[in-house]
A and B are shown apart, each in its own frame.
Chain A
Amino acid sequence: MGGYYHSVTLDKDKCKGCTNCIKRCPTEAIRVREGKARIIAERCIDCGECIRVCPYHAKIAVTDPLSSIYKFTYRIALPAPALYGQFKDVSDIDYILSALKSLGFNHVYEVAKGADYNTAFVKEWLKNKGIKKPQISSACPAIVRLIQVRFPELIENIVPIESPMEIAAQLARQEFYQKFGAREEDIGVFFITPCAAKMTSIKKPIGKEKSTVDGAISILDIYGALNSKIGDLQEIEGLQRASAYGVGWANSSGECAALSVERYLAVDGIQNVIHVLEEIENNKFPDLDFFEGLACVGGCVGGPLTFENGFVAKNRIKTLTDEMDKYSLTQNEFNAAKNSIRWEFTEDIQPKPVMKLDDDLTLAVQKMEKMERIFNSLPGLDCGSCGSPNCRTLAEDIVQGEASELDCVFKLRERVKELAEEMIELAEKIPTGRHGEDDSK
């Protein structure tokens, strides 16, 4: 499939052209050109780091407005478990789910329940002999995209099982159909999302042709309405069905705890994940069975579209799950789902090696050498004033014809100085009239 879709976009009017986002981007996907940030679509993985770091809120995540749900006759909400950590003094998840339903939905199905199913499927998958170790969780879409762009060699390690969201969407549709007999096309399923990457994975899914989810609504967008509804509920419906394990997915290492794999590593924060993926690529952890990497600090509770402080939310999730049942799916539930939904990826994950200099090795080497020469002539301050994240990337941009040496303010100053000196030199050479007379005598 050609073309790119990204939830993360730029609000040009708000952008001041500063260097915050270009320096934070984990795939070097942003440049400042003509005073405004520009996102390189091929490289962006929708992790949302730039949204978090932009002081002018010029980086935004495009999600669906709540009003868009009315395109459908019947509407189902799929809340991410991270939603449960957003509200103060709520000890019963059913309050949150009932309030959510009252915002215009006919049904609410927990993604945490989808996580319970995902866990059961992944447990089965991990029994396969001959799969590459460590298996890498596919739960965080930003990390899957990071692997496509920066670690294509690790694609084969990615667990090819559908995300809790996709599983929940299918089961929710099924359930709704069985209850009310509504037509497939009349049912709209909306994910309540803590992040931009999930929006992208609905519009441009990986591992399948089309998502079962129709849209994503940002937690931030409905937080206010939801918070006041919770304090003003007429009736509480019993909608909460997921286990403590499923809800625990909101926090980093929640997935590993649910899987109860022995030799696992759970890492949160995209820079930390990159560091560990580098080491996995070097075979530094030959005994590791499972790796869970989450782009946001703390896990999904730290998502860029959440309202509450991620650390506070993480504690709330922990308090909630401590008091919940730690059960697994029944064999009947598991079998029924296994035979009725799509739970495995149907398409291979494709590498996107966009970081390479050229398809032709000889040309790439020439470019690399030119890049080295240019890099050595740059000041090495990595100030970002040129619009590229650091001196090395500027050298690369110059070689690729995307920038010029005089974009560097220090290079420009040198050049101005040279020109000024030349001017003075020239000025001294201009013969004044008297001078001329003196000379001729």
Chain B
Amino acid sequence: MSRKNFQRNIFISFSIIPPLLITLVFLAIPAVRAFCLSFTDANMIGIGGTSFTGLENYRYMFSDQVFMKAFRNTVILLIVVPLITITVSLILSEILHRGNLREAGFYRVVFFFPSIISLTVVAIVWSFIFHPTMGLVNSMLDFLHLSQMKRSWLGTAETALGSIAFTLVWQAAGYYLVMILAAMTSINNDYYEAATIDGAGWFRQFVYITLPEVKNIIIITIILSMSGTLNLSFTLSTIMTNGGPNNASLVLLKYIYNQGMTNGNFGYSMAITVFTLLFSIILSIAVQKLQRREEAV
């Protein structure tokens, strides 16, 4: 081996080993440990002995009403939020892409802003926007003479989860807009010109040219948005509603936290974690399968 090659290999090892070690120590081993813990009655400080309880935690999970509520809420968010987010991003990026707006750059920056703000700040700001007495939403309803629609958005079971979903969409739409817009700008302009000559209007061009061309990026953004929704719903649910009222906006990650960190039940909370992990893996596989089938057609 030449000296140059040797140096190259050393450099590659130097680059690979630290991240590999970090992944192993902080990701792989804890994940395996979490999986093992989910079959035990372990508590948070590892005292009082840990005994193997088999599938008991998993059996209990499906009889636990609070878990079922958190699961239902999470599923609703995972379906609704990515769908709306990506639709909004698509529409906005199509406007920016084809609208020939002079201020396009400005809008791009403005739409992207929410995704660089700390999510905690987003949650606090929106909990004030939804504030029942001095919030922007209720004040605007007053201004529009729609006072009968005023409510305490975060304190009512019917609207708490919806308010969190809205905030998630607001926070993420700009981020996916940039990704989709990048894909759109790479579409050959000739297609549009040809379509225009053939008499196709804006909507038909969008459906028959833009959408098929950015289909792949849409699937990727939906998967990203689903994992984002799963993660970020914890912060929003914790800060904006604390899972309430009466668990109406409780999500799986928040319930994992409650069981693990408030109740000290590591075993049970790990069982929910494993379930959540499996569920999100299945969901993203399903989305990818859907994409492949579409491609095959």
Q: A and B from one assembly?
A: no
Q: Which residues of B contact A (CB under 8 A)?
A: none
Q: Which residues of A contact B (CB under 8 A)?
A: none
